[in-house]
Amino acid sequence: MISFSGVSKRYPGGHEVLSDVSFALEAGELAFVVGRSGAGKSTLLKLIPAIERPSAGTVLVNGQNVGALRRAALPYLRRNLGLVFQDQKLLYDRCVYDNVVLPLAFSDHSPREAERRARAALDKVGLLGRERASPVQLSGGEQQRLAIARAVVNRPAILVADEPTANLDAESARGILDIFFAFNQVGVTVLIATHDEATLAGYAGRVLRLAAGRLLP
Amino acid sequence: MRAWLRHHRQAFAAALGKLLAQKSATLLNALVIGVVLALPAGGHVLLANLLAVTQRFSPEPQLSLFLQAAATKAESDAVAARLRADTRVAAARFVPREEALKSLRATEGLAEVVAALGQNPLPDAFVVRARDAAPEALDALARDLRLLGGVAHVQVDSAWARRLAAIAATGRIAIGVLAALLAVGLVAVTFNTIRLQILTHAEEIEVSRLIGATDGYIARPFYYFGFAQGVAGGLVALAILWLGLSALNVGVQELASSYGSTFRLGFPGAADALSILAFAGLLGWLGSYMSVSVHLRQIT
């Protein structure tokens, strides 16, 4: 489902963030990318929706070489991925419901179907009833749940989350990971990057360790 | 297809929403565009009125040949024969003095003047249509006809109409140049407005792109915004035109009535009004298209 083969990423100026990274994730797998800050976790995750392009190597998503995709093809790739960003990227001038329904606005769903899906997504993350609230009225954990609801509203087969538990207390972090675990239980492939390996205790998933841009054996 | 239409409807509604949300900015922009458009549109309307006036008179290469009041029938017949024989003459029509008086009497405002004359002061005349419309050829023909016996005066009728048509053609070019220059200004106004809109919505654009929005989807509301702003400016331009022509007509009406005419400046018709709106909308769209092409790329 996701395959990295000899992937390197070098930013302009010569700084190499990832070096010869290779791994493969099967459909329905749960995996964690762990490593210290600056290890290259975020860059690795950004290569999957082609937010970044590899300097060398190949990234395949559902058999598609995403590094070689034309710019016009990227939206269609991203619609099939659930992305949770490190900084959440919520729209704070819009209500909870409008944030969740946003990915459905540019798909072919009818307004009725979009509403049904948005409510279902909010229900899954425990935010049903808060549709008209502003994101600024939500706690950090709730904002993270909102970001997850937006990521899953399109019912993607792959969920990619960058530091979804950062800045959360242990209980909230656990609640967030439980949500990802629940999605994985119904067959969604989940890849989560975190610097806090301790929060992963109790979750049966594969761990990919990154250090200085290299995947440790 | 239904989804595509829905996306367009949503984009149009979003654009209108933005326009209405910033009422004062929208009004100011529409005023700027309206004033800019009203200048060439007003010139075009005035020129159309001028051309309508000139078209009442024949621009054909025509001369009027007036016989002396005392000219005899024989002299008149000799002139007619000479005209028929002249290869430079395409057609010649004899206008008896009675017919000329009748025609003068039918002219608005002159009936009372003619009645006051007591007797017919007009001479017999020929209306001559020349084959060659070149001013030199007309002048040469007029010069030769003046030498005929019994001829009092020869007048080149169409000269002034040709001069007026030349002035109108120059005016049309000037208005075209002015319209082109102001159109560039209008595109620039929309370009800048859309640039600010894009900057204001940079975060939303970035997020939308990250979660699967196409550039077309993101750009569409801006296109509609530019188009709607242009149309709003077009409506303001039409209002300015209407007010301006109404004000001008007060003076024109007074001037025309002093000549016994009921002439008024005509307002733009439905087709012209629609053309102005379409032109304004098109320029708005063009400005937004250019701005989106440049500035959307800068948001990554």
For chain A, how big is the Rg over CA atoms in Å?
Answer: 17
Domains of chain B in sequence order: 2-57+162-295 (no CATH), 62-156 (3.30.70.3040)
Q: For residue A42, which amino acid is it? A: S
Strand duo A64-65 + A56-61: pairing = antiparallel
- What does the pLDDT look like over B17-43, one tens digit per residue? 888 888 888 899 899 999 999 999 999
Query: Hey, are the CB atoms on B207 and A89 less than 8 Å from each other?
Result: yes
pLDDT at B111 over 80: no
Return the SS3 of B148.
coil
Among all residues of chain B, which has the CA nearest to that of A52? B300
A106–B214 CB contact, under 8 Å: yes
**Nearest by CB to B211, which of A76, A78, A111?**
A78
Q: Is B298 left (phi over 0), alpha (psi -120 to 50) or beta?
A: alpha
Nearest to A83 among B7, B208, B210 (CB): B210
- Which pLDDT score, from 0 to 100, does residue A110 have? 85
A40 — pLDDT class (breaks 50, 70, 90): very high
Which of B10, B203, B209 is closest, CB to CB, to A91?
B203
A150 touches chain B (CB under 8 A): yes
* Partner residue facing B211 (CB), from A83, A108, A111: A83
Compute the average pLDDT of residues B47-59: 71
**Residue-level pLDDT at B232:** 94
Inter-chain touch B208–A102, beta carbons under 8 Å: yes
Is some CB atom of chain B closer than 8 A to the CB atom of A136? no
Q: Is A106 on the interface with B (CB under 8 A)?
A: yes
How far apart are alpha carbons A205 and A190 in whole angstroms?
Answer: 9
Q: Tell me the shortest Cα–Cα distance from A75 to chain B, in angstroms.
A: 4
Cβ A106–B208 below 8 Å, yes or no? yes
Q: What is the 3-state secondary structure (H, E, C) of chain A?
A: CEEEEEEEEECCCCCEEEEEEEEEECCCCEEEEECCCCCCHHHHHHHCCCCCCCCEEEEEECCEEHHHCCHHHHHHHHCCEEEECCCCCCCCCCCHHHHHHHHHHCCCCCHHHHHHHHHHHHHHCCCCCCCCCCHHHCCHHHHHHHHHHHHHCCCCCEEEEECCCCCCCHHHHHHHHHHHHHHHHCCCEEEEEECCHHHHCCCCCEEEEEECCEECC
Chain B residues within 8 angstroms (CB to CB) of chain A: 3, 6-7, 10, 203-204, 206-215, 217
pLDDT at B58 over 60: no
- Tell me: pLDDT of B55 over 70: no
Question: ipTM score here?
Answer: 0.89
Q: Enumerate the residues of chain B whose CB falls inside 8 A of the CB of residue A162.
A: none
Shortest Cα distance from A15 to chain B (angstroms)? 20
Query: Token pair 């002439």 is at which residue?
Result: B263
Q: For the full predicted model, state whether its pTM sits above 0.80.
A: no
- Condensed to tens digits (0 to 9), the pLDDT of residues A83-116 reads 999 898 999 999 999 999 999 988 878 889 999 9
- The pLDDT of residue A38 is 87
B200 within 8 A of B21, measured Cβ to Cβ: no
